[in-house]
Amino acid sequence: MSELTTIENGKVKLTFKLSAEEYVKALNAAYRRIGARYAMPGFRNGKAPRKMIEKQYGDAAFWDKELDMAVEKACADAVAEQKILPALAPEYSIVSYSETDGCVVDAVLVLEPTCELGEYKGIEVPMQEYNVTDEMVAAELDKRRHDQARMVSVEDRPLQLGDTAVFDFAGFCDGEQFEGGTAEKYSMVIGSHQFIPGFEEQMVGMNIGEERDVNVTFPEKYQAEHLAGKPAVFKVKLHELSYEELPELDDEFASETSEFETLDELKADIRRELGVQLEKDREIAFESAALQKVIDNAKVEIHPDLVSAEAHAELHDLEHQLQAYGMNLDNYAEYMGTNAEELHERYHKMAGDQIKARTVIQAVIDAEKIEPADVDFEAAVKAHAERAKGWDAEKIANELLPENRMKYAQSALYEAVVRLIKENAVITKVEAPAENEEK
């Protein structure tokens, strides 16, 4: 028999017993395996009695993996008896032991989160209606013009905003050149605001071959803390200038860059393509909003130890990946414009959100006894194909064969949950912001 004591919400102490027979059996098994490690005067290795070894080296001399396995089995039996669901590996402590009474063990267990579902059918999801505007078509045309632009070298005038400049620079702070502030033949569109505020504007008017000191002040919240808020001087030398020459937006542009003969036909096709993309974006937004509302409606209790364990696992994986690039978490945090403490907080928040989402989804599965249908497997495989890229219709069809599709079972189950939520959700229209309205 076992005894369950609540320590706090989501954490319990499970007290159970390993019988005298099981306890002694584990000790004897360990003795047969590792007894030869212990040297006893007057006995050959492995021949000294277990009791004599324990008297010399202590009662725990043979508390090895055999006892661990026996304790784990007894714990599993106690867990089944109490009908609880541990989320993490138990933390064991031996309460008492003897060869006549057996071994009493305490196991501290963090349990799986509990979930009380809120409304998940018939939820209202506010969605904005977006239409393809003239401005959106114009922006796409402008992008295509830039894709077809050619670079023209400049030699007879000074640098202007919008020019692409090739230049050297070296940064100095307090009279000392600082690391990371130097480059040669660096190429940049002047006015693209890639550098510290004021840097690019001070380059305007430079001629090829000219050298100039550019005076700037680093932002107070600059990622390199030793430079934050400090004045600096960059010595700049301009080597090359060029500008982007755009093609005329006319029928000739349409015929040369598309299957259409006129600009109006090209515009109509762009409007159609944008409409298709907007519909896809809207469907994704609807799915995300509906699922999030179901998650928000639920009451989920998650023990902090479970959140910490998942966050630490994610950070460990990240650290392992960073090692391949010669980086650690501190380097990565600085690169991301934050620090290690904030990075840990961010991963803990992300872990908590992920656990809650999984718990709510599983609760819906249990409540509805959901089984994925063919359409859910198809959605799961197609989603995987989009991420994998390069899959053709034959490859997708092959993955949907009975012998292959089961590896997508978990993803298909998720698709089934989302489908149920979406099919039962009610969309309420929200007016789009004025800038998105057709003019």
CATH 3.10.50.40 fits 150-245, yes or no: yes
Strand-pairing partners, residue 217, are: 231
Burial class from Cβ neighbours inside 10 Å (0-12, 13-18, 19+) for residue 18 reads buried
- CA-CA distance, 374 to 383, in Å (whole number)? 14
Question: Do strands 176-189 and 114-116 pair parallel, antiparallel, or not at all (unpaired)?
Answer: unpaired
C-alpha span between 200 and 215 (Å, rounded)? 11
40, β-bridge pairs: none
Between CA 230 and CA 181 the distance in angstroms is 14
CB 220, CB 196: distance < 8 Å: no
CA 116 to chain centre: 26
For residues 16, 22, 27, 32, the Cα torsion angle rounded to the nearest 10 degrees is -150
pLDDT at 249: 94
103 sits in which H/E element: strand 102-110
Our measurement of the distance from residue 54's CA atom to the centroid of its chain's CA atoms, rounded to an integer in Å, reads 51
Helix, strand, or coil (residue 165): strand
Give the whole-angstrom CA distance, residue 336 versus residue 330. 10
As beta bridge partners, residue 430 has 128
Mean pLDDT by 10 residues, the chain (439 residues): 92 96 95 87 83 89 93 96 95 95 96 96 90 94 94 94 96 90 94 92 96 94 84 96 94 94 96 94 93 96 96 94 89 85 94 96 96 93 88 90 90 95 91 54
Is the CB of residue 327 less than 8 Å from the CB of residue 363?
A: no
Strand bridging mode 176-189 / 164-173 = antiparallel
Interatomic CA distance for residues 140 and 272, integer angstroms: 12
Bridge-based pairing state of the strands 299-301 and 114-116:
antiparallel
Separation in Å, CA 318 to CA 88, 224, 311, 322, 340: 21, 22, 11, 6, 13
By the 10 Å C-beta count (0-12 exposed, 13-18 middle, 19+ buried), 325 is classed as exposed
Topology match between the domains 3-112 and 150-245: no
Angstrom distance (rounded) from CA 217 to CA 219: 6
Tokens of 209: 């071959």
Supply the DSSP string of 330-395, one letter for each residue. Answer: HHHHHHTTS-HHHHHHHHHHHHHHHHHHHHHHHHHHHHHT----HHHHHHHHHHHHHHH----HHH
Ramachandran class of 19: left when φ > 0, alpha when ψ lies in -120 to 50, beta otherwise: beta
* CATH class of the 3-112 domain in this structure: alpha beta
CA 52 – CA 45 distance, rounded (Å): 13
Q: Could you tell me which residues come within 8 angstroms of residue 388 by beta carbon, excluding any fewer than 6 positions away?
A: none
Alpha helices in 173-259 (DSSP H): 199-203, 251-257
Asked if residue 437 lies in contact with residue 136, where contact means CB atoms within 8 angstroms, the answer is no
- Name the phi and psi angles at 332, rounded to 5: -65, -45
| For the chain, the helix, strand and coil percentages under 3-state DSSP, each to the nearest 5 | 50, 25, 30
Q: Structure tokens of 356?
A: 């809650």
Domain extents for the chain? 3-112, 150-245, 266-436
* CATH of the domain spanning 266-436, picked from 2.40.128, 1.10.3120, 1.10.1740, 1.10.150: 1.10.3120
- Strands 11-18 and 3-8, by their bridges, are antiparallel
Closest CA to 344 of 372, 314, 377, 369: 314
Count the Cβ atoms, other than its own, within 10 Å of residue 406. Answer: 10
* Structure-block tokens of residue 306: 């479970």
Length of the chain: 439
Integer Cα distance of 316 and 107 in angstroms: 26
